[in-house]
Amino acid sequence: MDIDLSKPYVSGTQDDYVVRSCAWSPPGDHPVGCGVKLHVKDGMLIDVEGDEAHPISQGRLCVRCLDLPEYVHNPQRIIYPMRRVGERGENKWERITWDEAIDEIYEKTKALQEKYGKQTVVVFAGTGREATLYYCPLAFAVFGTPNACFAMSGFACYGPRRSIAYYLFGTGYPEVDFAGYFADRYDHPGYEVPKYIICWGKQPLYSNPDGFPGFSIIDMMKRGSKIISIDPQVTWLAAHSEYHVQLRPGTDAALALAMLNIIINEDLYDHDFVENWCYGFEDLRERVQEYTPERVANICWIDEQLIYDVTYAYAKNHPSAIQWGLAFDQTSTGGQAGQAVLSLMAITGNLDVPGGQTLGPRTVFLGKWRFDTAQYLDEGMFDQVRIGQKYPGFLNAMSTAQPDELLKTLETDEPYPLRMGFFQSSNFLTATCNVAPQRWYKALQKLEFNVVTDLFMTPTAVALADIFLPLASHAEHVGVVTPHFGRNLHFMGAMNKALQVGECKSDIEVCITLGKRFNPDAWPWDTAEEFFDEQLKLAFPFGLDKLQHDITYSPDLTYKKYETGGLRSDGKPGFETTTGKCELKSTIYPLFGEDPLPFYKEPHYSPYSQPELAEEYPLILTTGGRKLTSFHSEHRQLETLREIDMYPVVSINTETAAAHGIQDGDWVCIENMFGHAIEKARVTPLIPERIVHASHGWWYPEQEGAEPNLFGNWKSNINTLLPNSCVSALGFGSIHKDMICKIYRVDSLDEFGPTGGLFEEGRWLYPEYGEEHLNG
């Protein structure tokens, strides 16, 4: 492509130039938007450097951005539309044109919808990528189906936390105030560094979660912030913390309730904020009396005095802030833990104050458009036909189908058959955004026609796809980075196109291309540039040219917006809730069959809830920790990054490993009644004796792609140990953080053959014992 050298973000010549941009995806990451300088020479991306002028990242980049050229020009990458020519699973393909691909998608979709109804199509999405902005509009305004689905049980990634905040505060996502809104950052006269930051179930240095730049934690530590780490493992951050709480996985709600017990009973709360801006305080006071520090210390496997120390540090040092992570999404009572932690933020007066928790609106950029695309559904489809009617609390907060119920629909054809799948940036047959992938694999065989959009041939694409559409990396397309997906927008960044690779299109370009064929009235734009320009002008006093010119935009931040009407659509003081206040006791939860107050309940599978099973499976399994070298199942093809992390690892305590005859580097099988996975042992004293942590997202692109091997998809698939439907009354949560298992040494990764010992002649080998538990 010819680059427009007149653009202010471009410097150089036609054959050798640098483009300033902001990184998001693909390859996957959360919408952090780090500043990058993309060096292109003779049509090839040859180097990536950090942009020191970027107001947030200031030149800092992780290894995944630095290795972007290896990703963009990888020989395994698919850069043209492909059609399956063999049987599914044979990994045989032929190149086709975009016109041929769109024609076939249109014809086969229309034929299936004529036979089964529009709702027979389901659009699946992955996690974190830019595509998360577009899969609901793709479902609603292209295919006319109400069924958009993030397949992880209980939508257990960010969705539960932002829904809880929506229900209880009526706001967007409460985030640590890291001066991200200010051009002068930490030197802004109205800013104050948090005295303590609780990193709860979160490793921000590795995950850069949801748009929060993890390195900001280090920035604030340098300026005096002290860290409280709540994490079963000793991480780098835990080792540099003032306090480290190694709690039993899945007991976060109990710990938060004990902290509330101390704060309320010892009169450490902010009386003014509680009296004027909180609802249900006296009921909360009564509830927390049963969660004494002594009782909770036994539940969490921690020292009682540590609970007091951590609580005093947070409550007596104002302002302080809490980073709440996936531990609040990926346990079945994580919602209750989230409710308790939001109460901690509120009653200590740390909401919407300098150095506390910033609060944004429910959504800003693209939010209204995304929701408004539901108007293209037939009447009643969104409210009455969307799958998941069992969980009205879920459907009321989310625009998607409830994933656990959608799996059951696939299996039973109730309330109607699903027969077409569109897999948008989702490789969920690997151990990523799912549980029980072997169950999904079997159920998805019913789909008669499938489309996959991605950059590489994945296990999901080989097993299921009929058409493969190639996606552009963030270096190859125009876009806008929106931290927290618009729910706490401390800045926006321009993704500026630096080069064209093959015939790859961005996610929004795929949507526009399909939309023009299926429903042109809903897709009036001809280019991504036109789309973003219009959407920006609807929300801000500028368009795409201005954002591309400036690279970033930082909106103004006003603190204590609840006093001035900045959090309510009617402009009145307070919060956008039924009571107009922070609801420590929910007024809406009882409508959904949920307790209005936070509580603790034992995990579905624990030494206490399932003592007989725990005799055979005595260890607690937690999974989902992040690595700098990959984003979930991505980056496995990159030799540079695989040199750093060659194989998945399971962290095992030194004493536990010795008792099982396991040495560091041995192959280990992690097993329970639902499945098993093989990973390399990392023997370490940094994890408690009764807990193991297993890597997720692993497959092996260097292995045979055709079935039954499927790139080794089943060999290290830790999610085969996790059942579906371990969710709350709201329909949120999962079991990624608090399962039970046993471990034993094996000789190799291939101990159980290409199907990992999970299948034999298409039959799942774990049916009899597991089926009675699978539905929770």
Q: String of b and e for 688-723 (b: at least 16 CB within 10 Å)?
A: beebbbbbbbbbbbeeebbbbbbbbbbbbbbbbbbb
pLDDT at residue 326 tops 90: no
Q: How far are the Cα atoms of 26, 28, 75, 140, 574 from residue 504, in angstroms, in the given order?
A: 12, 16, 15, 24, 47
Tokens 């996610």 belong to residue: 507
Q: Give pTM, 2 decimals.
A: 0.96
More confident residue, 770 or 651: 651
Q: What is the mean pLDDT of residues 675-685?
A: 97
pLDDT in tens, 508-535: 999 999 999 999 999 999 999 999 999 9
What is the phi-psi region of residue 200: left when phi exceeds 0, alpha when psi lies from -120 to 50, beta otherwise? beta
pLDDT of residue 487: 87
Give the span between the Cα atoms of 41 and 625, in whole angstroms: 37
pLDDT level of residue 169 (50, 70, 90 thresholds):
very high
pLDDT at residue 419 tops 80: yes
DSSP state, 505? B
Q: Which residues pair with 668 in a beta bridge?
A: 679, 745
Find, among 463, 626, 639, 483, the residue nearest to 89 by Cα: 463
Give the span between the Cα atoms of 55 and 440, in whole angstroms: 43
Would you say 68 and 45 are in contact if contact means Cβ atoms under 8 Å apart? Answer: yes
Share of the chain above pLDDT 70, in %: 98
pLDDT in tens, 93-117: 999 999 999 999 999 999 999 999 9
Share of the chain above pLDDT 90, in %: 89
pLDDT in tens, 6-54: 999 999 999 999 999 999 999 988 899 999 999 999 999 999 999 999 9
Three-class DSSP category at 421: strand
Burial class of residue 66 (count of CB atoms within 10 Å of its CB; 0-12, 13-18, 19+): middle
pLDDT of residue 776: 37
Cis-peptide into 26, omega within 30 deg:
yes
Cis-peptide into 27, omega within 30 deg:
yes
Q: How far are the Cα atoms of 66, 205, 431, 456, 667 from residue 648, in angstroms, in the given order?
A: 22, 20, 11, 20, 10
Find, among 623, 649, 647, the residue nearest to 740 by Cα: 623
Q: What is the mean pLDDT of residues 657-685?
A: 97
Cis-peptide into 611, omega within 30 deg:
no
pLDDT of residue 761: 67
> Which residue stretches of 86-229 are H helix?
98-116, 135-137, 159-169, 204-207, 215-222
pLDDT at residue 147 tops 90: yes
Would you say 713 and 678 are in contact if contact means Cβ atoms under 8 Å apart? Answer: no
Would you say 303 and 266 are in contact if contact means Cβ atoms under 8 Å apart? Answer: no
pLDDT of residue 756: 86
Upper half-sphere CA count for residue 172 (Cβ side, 13 Å): 25
DSSP strand E in 640-746: where?
649-653, 667-671, 676-684, 691-694, 739-746
pLDDT of residue 33: 94
Query: Which tokens go with 376?
Result: 């293209």
> Which residue stretches of 251-402 are H helix?
252-265, 271-277, 281-288, 293-300, 304-315, 334-347, 367-372, 392-397
Give the span between the Cα atoms of 46 and 66, in whole angstroms: 10
The secondary structure element, H or E, covering residue 158 is: none
Would you say 126 and 743 are in contact if contact means Cβ atoms under 8 Å apart? Answer: no
pLDDT of residue 210: 84
pLDDT of residue 762: 65
Among the ranges given (77-91, 125-139, 594-608, 692-706), the one the predictor scored with the smallest mean pLDDT: 125-139
Give the span between the Cα atoms of 227 and 244, in whole angstroms: 9
pLDDT in tens, 442-478: 999 999 999 999 999 999 999 999 999 999 999 999 9
Three-class DSSP category at 417: coil
Find, among 375, 333, 484, the residue nearest to 136 by Cα: 375
DSSP strand E in 384-542: where?
420-424, 449-454, 467-470, 479-481, 492-495
pLDDT in tens, 525-576: 999 999 999 999 999 999 999 999 999 999 999 999 999 999 999 999 999 9
Q: How far are the Cα atoms of 126, 260, 314, 434, 460 from residue 633, in angstroms, in the given order?
A: 10, 38, 36, 12, 11
Give the span between the Cα atoms of 284 and 257, in whole angstroms: 10
Q: How far are the Cα atoms of 287, 292, 368 from residue 384, in angstroms, in the given order?
A: 36, 44, 21
pLDDT of residue 766: 66
Mean pLDDT of the chain: 95
Task: Please report, in angstroms and rounded to a whole number, the separation of the first and last CA atoms in the chain.
Answer: 53
Domains and CATH numbers, the chain: 82-156+363-553 (3.40.50.740), 175-358+572-592 (3.40.228.10), 611-775 (2.40.40.20)
Tokens 């509830």 belong to residue: 287
Find, among 335, 341, 340, 333, the residue nearest to 357 by Cα: 341
Neighbours of 12 (CB within 10 A): 14
pLDDT of residue 599: 97
Q: What is the mean pLDDT of residues 332-355?
A: 95
Which residue type occupies 53? Answer: A
